[in-house]
Every structure is written in C-alpha cells, then in structure tokens.
Amino acid sequence: MKKTKDIQTFLQTIDFSKFILKRVWHEKAGKKYICIKLFITLVNTIIPLVYSIIPGLIVNELLDGAYSDVLIVYVAILSLSPVLLAFLNNILDSLLYKLRLDLELIFAIQFQKYITIMDYETIENPDIQIKKDRAQITIDNTIVLIDKYVGFFASIIKIIVIFSIIATLNIGIVALIMILLCINSLLTKKVNQKMYQIGLELSKHDRGLWGIIYMLEQPCYAKEIRLFNLSTLLTGEYGKRIKAKNKLEIRQFKIGRKIGIYGALGNFVQQVLVYSYAISSVLAGKLALGSMTIYIGMISQFSGSIKSLFDGYLNIAKDNYNIQELKDFLNIPCVQYRSGDKTPSFDKDSIIEFRNVSFKYPGSNNYALKDFNLTIRGNEKLCIVGCNGAGKSTFIKLLARLYMVDKGEILLNGTNINEYDYTEYQRLFAPVFQDYVRYYFSLGTNIVLASQFDKDKLDKICQECGLTDLVNKLPKGYDTQVDKFIDEEGFEPSGGEDQRIAIARACYKGGEIYLLDEPTAAIDPMAEYEIYTQFNNMTKNKCAILITHRLSTVQLADKVAVFDNGSVVEYGTHKELYEKGGMYTEMFDKQAQFYRDDPNDAAGPEAPSQGAAADTQV
C-alpha cells in the first residue's frame, strides 16, 4: 500500500481549519451558526465545573458546622441550573438545527454547480470520480468540522479554568498528566495515519461495489440478468468484492481498537497516582475532605479535558487528509469553462474548420483523430459514416468542446473555438447523442429542461417528433413523471420513445448547429423516415452534422464524409462517392443488397428510401 504523506502538523492543521472556517463564515447563516454554537458550547462546558465544585463546598460547610444561607444558595444553584440549561439548549439547538440544514443545502448546491462546470474530460476520468466522491463526503461533513473546532476551543477554555484551580494543589500532578496524554496522542496519531490509508483503499472498493449493486437492483438490467442467466456471475462478483472490503474493514477495526487500549493504560497510571496523593494529603491534615473531592473531581475533569483536547486535535488533524482532497478537487482547473471571452456568431456564411487536428483520449496511446482536416459551411448538412472506432463521435466531442485537441486547432469563422466564451459557444449546438439520457423529471421538463416552458412551442415540437399520441394517452400529459422509480404513477418510455424525447429536446432548445450522433438507432424504419423528413424541414438553412450507420439517411446531406482510422478518407456527395468505387461504395452496397429482390443485383448510386432503412452497422 502506498505510504501517505503526513500532513497532520500543527501549522498545516491551522491552515486547513482556516480554510473550512472561511467557507462557513463567508455565509450569513454560517456566521450565526458559529457564534451560537460557540456560546452554547461554552455554557455547557463551564456548568459541569460548577457541579463538581459546589458539592465539595457544601461538605466543607457541614464539617465546619456552619449552617448559613450559603448552603441554600449552593443547593439552589445545583437544583435550578440544570433546568435553566435545558431550556437554553432546547431553544438554541432548534435554531442551530435550522441553520445547519440551510448551510448544508448551500454547500451542496455550490459543490454540484462546480461539478457541472468541470471539463468533461476531467469528470469522465474514473480517478476523478473517486476524488469527487471523497470530496463530497467532506462537503457533507463541513458543519461537523465546525462543531469539532468549536469543541476544541471550548476544551481550551475549560482546561484554563481547571488548571487555575488544581495548580494550587500540586503542579507536579498536572505535569504528569500532560506527559501521559502526550504519549497517548503520539500513538493515536500513528494509528490515524494507518486508518486513513486503509480508508483510501475502501473508497476504491466502494465504487466497484456500487457498480455491482446498481446492476443487481436497477430494472434496466433485469431482462438480461434473466435471459443471460447472470445471477451467478453478479452475485459471485458481489460476494468477492464484499469479502475484500470486509478484510480491509476488519484490519481498520483492529488498528482503531489500539487507541482505546493506549487510553486505558494511561488512565490507570493517572488514577493510581492522583488518589494516592489526595488520600495521603487528607490523612496528613494538609487537605480538607470537601476540598479533596473538589480536587479529585477537577483532576479527573482536567485529565478528561486534556485528553479531549488532544483527541480533538488529532481528530481535527486526521481530517487534514480529507480537507486536502477537497482543496485539490476544487483546484482542478476548469480550462474549458474559464477560457475565452469572445461571443460567437453563426449564420449561413460561417465556416467551421478542423485544421491538422490530432487527439487521443487521456490514458490512451492511440490517436482517435490524427492530422484531421475538414471544413463545414454554415448552411451545410454533413453526413458522417464509417466503421466503429473511426473517430466519428470523437469529432462531435471536439467540436462541442467536450475535449480539447492535442495538436492543431478548430476554427469558427477563422477564430480558434477556445477563444470564445464556453457557455455562449455551446449555445450554438442542439445535440442528440447516441448515449442520450433520461432525466428523472416530468415528460415536459425532460423535453424543455426548464421549470417554465412555452406550451404552444412544446406542442408543435411534440407533433413534429411523433410524441403527441404519447402525451395524450398519459394521465397527466406533460406533467407525467418519467420513470416509475420516482413515481409509481409515472411511465417507462420505450427505446423509441426515449429517442423521440431526446430529439424533441434538441429541437426545443434549438441552435445554429444540430449534432445528431445515431439519433434514431432505436426507432423503426417508418418512424425514422417521418422524423428525418420533419427534421429536414426544421433545419432548413441550418447547419446539421449527422453521424449514422444507416446509409439511407445520406439523402438528407449536402456532403458525406467517410471516416477511417481517425481521418477523412473520402468526401463528396453521395453520387460522387458512389461513382468513385471506394470504401463508401463498398459500405453502401453491403447495406443495399438486403433490400433487393435478388441480393446479387448490382447496386445503383441512388440511396435506398428511408422506409427501407437498414439496421445493419458497418
């Protein structure tokens, strides 16, 4: 296991604590929370000292034979203070609880917003996903950290008060307690480092285990689990991962138990010495019996407070690792989001140019695109075809600035796309990806992706995308929840309905450039024909880039680009490419032969009709 660098030094702990305190203090609710928490913690810290002192004073008063009004005052304090403290705690704890929920919501929203602006290539990295999960835990525990800091400060105040009392008895006792606790704290610090390293390993196991649990529990896997008889495979993998995790947790548990053993041994030595000294002082007439009970109580509390102080510090220092992970995560550069400030414009005369672009995915040694060149005009519809892995989807991702090129540049109207404001640039696109997603919202919100929408516009889009019949048959229309996982009265869209929703989403958003990456793979040929016909009408005088394996769709395109091994190997109209007799001709003929009466007939240059679109992928 890789050794973790020690970042539990005092100065580093101060620095990390300031980082968290500043984040909380920056919020109005945070200021209130810290002040109220500090006040109530100090009150709850000092009051127990009163409970330890007053009984001893009562004993001394009784032994002296004095039955004054002072006894009544002592008894009144002991009787009333718990009641008053309970009322105070009840009022302030309710306020603190509300402030705590407000702050947790604020920090959660801030964190999620940050994730949404992270570079796509960053958030797609599995290692970053693990860091995100661990940073999320620290965000969720921010108020817990504040409570620790306040408790630590209260321990310091308590120690000062107790020290001023017991120092009058014997300063050597205080020194001895301090030495014992320092030894215990050093041992605990070593244990914390080992437990943190095991915690890192557990995080990796948790993520892998989550994937297995997700597959076992989600309805979308249920059919294949049964038809492919995956029960043994998945449950076996589940058991194997649980066993590996259990071994780590047992090891972590055993290491953690050492802290209790160290504390018990230290406490044994301390108690023997303290009681021996106190009893001998009473027998020698140097200490009154009531004062002895006060001093023993104070020494016990002093020992407990010192231990709480050391433990509190070590607990805070242990969090340094988690806070460092949070800082590292929040410092990951958002290169795309923060690059460029120009406002892009796009019309029929605009030009998109890939100029000598090379790109390979992080962690890969192979180029997805290599010395790639292609020009697209503003009113042009381009159809991209090619074998799987040819670089078609990568082309879309680079154009949409989901990734940054390694070499070369992508230009819009002669300007590098990275010089444009990221948000404004992405507004140019209306995308439909092959791995489209379903949002756990209502049907209407799934299409509009906003809480408010233009119903007339939505009706028109749904009519054009073939969703009107679906909307009409749903009991709540657009307000029907998508997916029964959220609402049992919701509905589960079919594959074709899902794709129609994704296409409607792009059409409602609109844009100057439509990106369609296999948008109709789950739709039957007749429905595909209707959608493409409607889509073609909607994108007149617009730029559209269509990736497809169904070569019947080429009739929508002004130009066709054939990709192979990360390059454009053929480019032109359908007729030009077919007559060329190259890769495009071979691909076209392989699909077209399935729609002839005699598959051995020679192919012609005309594209087959959409109604006979092929599902075959090439």
Share of the chain above pLDDT 70, in %: 88
Q: Are residues 417 and 555 in the same domain?
A: yes
Q: Are residues 320 and 201 in the same domain?
A: yes
**HSE toward the beta carbon, residue 499, CA cutoff 13 A:** 18
Q: Give the span between the Cα atoms of 532 and 357, in whole angstroms.
A: 31
Domain coverage including residue 16: 10-330
Q: Are residues 39 and 123 in the same domain?
A: yes
- Average predicted confidence (pLDDT) for the chain: 83
Residue 338 burial (CB count, 10 A): 12
Q: Are residues 148 and 246 in the same domain?
A: yes
Q: DSSP string of 281-339?
A: HHHTTSS-HHHHHHHHHHHHHHHHHHHHHHHHHHHHHHHHHHHHHHHHHHTS--TTTTS
Q: CA angle, corner 158, sides to 154 and 159, nearest 5?
A: 115
Share of the chain above pLDDT 90, in %: 37
Q: What's the DSSP call for residue 522?
A: T
Q: Are residues 209 and 271 in the same domain?
A: yes
Decide if 276 is inside a domain: yes
Token duo for residue 324: 């460092």
520-526 CB contacts, 8 Å cutoff, 24+ apart: 520/550, 521/434, 521/549, 522/494, 522/495, 522/496, 522/498, 523/496, 523/499, 524/496, 525/610, 525/611, 525/612, 525/613, 526/611
CA-nearest of 198, 202, 195, 204 to 127 is: 204
Token pair 């007939």: residue: 601
Decide if 437 is inside a domain: no
Residue 404: is its pLDDT beyond 80? yes
Q: Give the span between the Cα atoms of 414 and 352, in whole angstroms.
A: 8
Residue 527: is its pLDDT beyond 80? no
**HSE toward the beta carbon, residue 74, CA cutoff 13 A:** 17
Q: Are residues 54 and 103 in the same domain?
A: yes
Decide if 611 is inside a domain: no
Q: What's the DSSP call for residue 514?
A: E
CA-nearest of 520, 507, 589, 579 to 548 is: 520
177 contacts 302 by C-beta, under 8 angstroms: yes
Q: Can you count the helices (H) and strands (E) in the chain?
A: 19, 10
Q: What's the DSSP call for residue 582?
A: S
Decide if 35 is inside a domain: yes
360 contacts 368 by C-beta, under 8 angstroms: yes
Q: Give the span between the Cα atoms of 98 and 350, in whole angstroms.
A: 54
Q: Are residues 197 and 235 in the same domain?
A: yes
Total-model pTM? 0.71
Three-class secondary structure of residue 486 per DSSP: coil
Token duo for residue 224: 């294949």
Q: Are residues 190 and 283 in the same domain?
A: yes
182-186, 522-526, 544-548: least confidently modelled range:
522-526
Q: How would you classify the pairing of strands 513-517 and 543-547?
A: parallel
CATH number of the domain to which 589 belongs: 3.40.50.300
pLDDT of residue 615: 40
Q: Give the span between the Cα atoms of 396 and 434, in whole angstroms.
A: 11
Which of 274, 301, 330 represents a domain boundary (last residue)?
330
Q: Are residues 105 and 222 in the same domain?
A: yes
Residue 490: is its pLDDT beyond 70? yes
Decide if 616 is inside a domain: no
The model's confidence at residue 609, banded by pLDDT at 50, 70 and 90, is very low
CATH number of the domain to which 130 belongs: 1.20.1560.10
Q: Give the span between the Cα atoms of 271 and 290, in whole angstroms.
A: 19
pLDDT of residue 445: 92
pLDDT of residue 147: 95
User: What tens digit of pLDDT does each residue of 411-452 get?
Assistant: 999 999 999 999 899 999 999 887 888 888 999 999 999 878
Q: DSSP string of 247-295?
A: HHHHHHHHHHHHHHHHHHHHHHHHHHHHHHHHHHHHHTTSS-HHHHHHH
Q: Give the span between the Cα atoms of 392 and 386, in whole angstroms.
A: 7
Q: Are residues 175 and 291 in the same domain?
A: yes
CA-nearest of 271, 301, 309 to 51 is: 301
Q: CA angle, corner 87, sides to 86 and 88, nearest 5?
A: 90
User: What tens digit of pLDDT does each residue of 241-291 get?
Assistant: 888 888 888 888 888 777 777 767 777 777 777 777 777 777 777 766 667
Decide if 448 is inside a domain: no
Q: Are residues 256 and 292 in the same domain?
A: yes
Q: Which amino acid is at 463?
A: Q
Say how many domains are in the chain.
2
Residue 18 phi, psi (nearest 5) = -65, -35
Decide if 491 is inside a domain: no
Which of 286, 301, 330 represents a domain boundary (last residue)?
330
CA-nearest of 617, 556, 559, 554 to 590 is: 617
Largest Cα span, the chain:
124
pLDDT of residue 523: 66
Higher pLDDT, 109 or 164: 109
46 contacts 158 by C-beta, under 8 angstroms: yes
CA-nearest of 521, 466, 471 to 495 is: 521
Q: Give the span between the Cα atoms of 516 and 107, in whole angstroms.
A: 36
Residue 86: is its pLDDT beyond 80? yes
Decide if 18 is inside a domain: yes
Q: Are residues 86 and 175 in the same domain?
A: yes
User: What tens digit of pLDDT does each residue of 108-118 get?
Assistant: 999 999 998 88
